[in-house]
Each structure stands twice: as C-alpha cells, then as structure tokens.
Amino acid sequence: MERRGKLRTDTLFLIPAMVFVLMSELVPIVYTTYLGFMDWDIINPPKWAGISNYVKVFSTPELINALKNTIYWVLGTLIFAVAFPLFIAALLNRVKRRTIFKLIFFIPSTLSPTVAAIFWRRTLASQKGALVSLLDLFGVQIQPILTNPQINTFVMIGVWVWQFFGINLILFLVGLETIPQEPVEAAMIDGANPRQAFFRIILPLLKPISMLVIANALINSIRMFDIPWVMIQGGPGRASETLAISLYRESFLLFKMGLGSAIAVVISIMTLLASYRYILTLGKGRRA
C-alpha cells in the first residue's frame, strides 16, 4: 500500500510536465498533420484536399529538387562532416601536442550558422566579394559561384562542413581518449596491424559517440534552412532550396499552408527515421 501511494504521488508530480509536453509537442504535431490534408490560404476556411498535398511534395518539380538538395546535404554531411573528422581525429590522437589543432578546427564552430553564412556570402559574392577581389589582384577571373545552380549547393555544403567539422572532431577525440588501451595493445601483440585494430576494436568502442555525431548531423542536415537561405535564399530561382526552405516559402510567402504542413510532416518523418537508430541504441544502453 505504501508503495502504491508513493507511485500515485510521483504520478501527480509528472502531470504538469505531461500537460506541457502535450500542449507544446503533441498538439502541434496532430494539428500540422491535419492541415497537411487541407487546402488553406489562411484567409479562407480550410477545405479538405485528401492526400493531394502529399502527392505534390513528390511530384512538383520544385519540391522534387528541394528533396534532392536535402539528400545532397545529408550525404555531404555524412562524408565530410562525420567520416572525415573521424579520420582526422584518428590521426591527431597519435599527436602529443594536439591542443593547437583542436583550437584551429573548433574556431568556426563558435559561429552561428547565420554568421557563418553572412561571412561566406560576402567572401564568395560575384561582385566585390573578398575572394573575387583577391583573385583580381593576380589577374585571375572566376565564374560566379553562389549564382551558379550547378555548384552553389555543394559550396554551401562546404560552408556547413567548415563550421561543424571542429565540434565533431572534438567529440571523436574525446571518444578516442576514453577508449581503454588494453584491448588495442592485446590485438597488436596478437599480430593485428593498425588498420585492423582501428576497424575491429576502436571503431566498435566508439559506437556511442559515433551514433550521437551521426544522428545530430543527419537531423541538422535534413532540417537545413539558415545557411542556404542567408547565402542566396534558395536561389537562383529555387535551384538550391532544401525542404525546410520550401516549407517556409510555401507556408509563409505563398500562403499554401496545407502544402507547407505536408512538407513539415515529410521532414518530421525523415528526421524520426534518421534518429531512430540512435534512440534504439541509447535505449539498449540504458537497459544494459
């Protein structure tokens, strides 16, 4: 009886938090999903549209291009903002005085994405940009970068990698420093070479940190908005839009709230799928 009474008391203390989560998280999710099935321009009452908005997300050329660009962001992030920092961290872990390298790589991470985007927008601007002016001194002429739809998305991915490379590097270095050396030394004594020791012993022991870095990188890249919007507002035209920019444009510039809500649901599903593996691994670790 005493245990049941304590359980009821604990539940009462949880009610305010549960109400807060319900009002701030669950209600907006349900309402946004509901709006995804409606045709609403904010002025007139919503009208039932069925799954037409979700069909448009995967059939409209501009939105297909935004989905493609979002996939580019995800792949670029995984390769250059996750795999490459892991490689550099493995090299730096053998260096005794690596504090200076940590500092150099980490400095860009202290900037907000908006500040980083403004800095590189002014650097790469076609007219009077810092890079253009510098190359002009040497008589070198370059083609416009940010207004070139064939390369500007990849340039902006480079800005994103430049900014968050350092923090991922630090996380991997922390993980490498906490790994016990006994299993690695035992493997080397048994004849394993450095590559085999890294992939078969060190990398599995880095799994908690790796899952954290990958999940964070995936979620941020899927929801990418600020860098492409600040640098060129998804242009030229809508060539470099991501799904997050399409959500903003369709909802708050074109007042297609139903289509914008459908895009939001798609982004949420992609984010959930990207973080599912991390959540599953975290749950297993806690149970263990």
Q: How confident is the model over 17-29, as pLDDT tens digits?
A: 778 777 777 888 8
Separation between Cα atoms, residue 215 and residue 278, nearest integer Å: 6
Which contacts of 173-177 are long-range, i.e. CB under 8 A and separated by 24 or more positions? 173/89, 173/92, 173/93, 173/98, 173/102, 174/209, 175/206, 175/208, 175/209, 175/210, 176/89, 176/90, 176/93, 176/202, 176/206, 177/93
| Strongest mean pLDDT among 7-21, 81-95, 255-269 | 255-269
Check whether 283 has a pLDDT greater than 60.
no
Check whether 96 has a pLDDT greater than 60.
yes
**Ramachandran class of 287: left when φ > 0, alpha when ψ lies in -120 to 50, beta otherwise:** alpha
Q: What is the mean pLDDT of the chain?
A: 84
Q: What is the pLDDT of residue 286?
A: 47
Q: What is the dihedral of CA 209, 211, 213, 219, to 10 degrees?
A: -160
Residue 49's CB: how many other CB atoms inside 10 A?
Answer: 19
The answer to whether 166 and 108 have CB atoms below 8 angstroms apart is yes
Check whether 68 has a pLDDT greater than 90.
yes
Confidence of residue 284 (pLDDT cuts 50, 70, 90): low
Lowest pLDDT segment from 142-156, 185-199, 226-240, 273-287: 273-287
Q: Which CATH superfamily is domain 61-287 in?
A: MetI-like (1.10.3720.10)
The answer to whether 210 and 281 have CB atoms below 8 angstroms apart is no
Check whether 248 has a pLDDT greater than 50.
yes
DSSP string, 77-91: HHIIIIIHHHHHHHH
Separation between Cα atoms, residue 155 and residue 261, nearest integer Å: 29
Q: What mean pLDDT comes out for the span 113-126?
A: 86
Q: What is the pLDDT of residue 184?
A: 78
Separation between Cα atoms, residue 127 and residue 239, nearest integer Å: 20
Lowest pLDDT segment from 2-11, 39-48, 82-91, 116-125: 2-11
Of 88, 91, 71, the closest CA to residue 80 belongs to 88
The answer to whether 40 and 124 have CB atoms below 8 angstroms apart is no
**Residue 173, amino acid:** L
Residue 12's CB: how many other CB atoms inside 10 A?
Answer: 9
Model-level pTM?
0.85
Q: pLDDT digit string (tens) for 124-167?
A: 877 666 777 777 777 777 777 888 888 889 999 999 999 889 89
Write out the two tokens for 203: 């990398």
Q: What mean pLDDT comes out for the span 38-44?
A: 88
**Residue 254, amino acid:** L
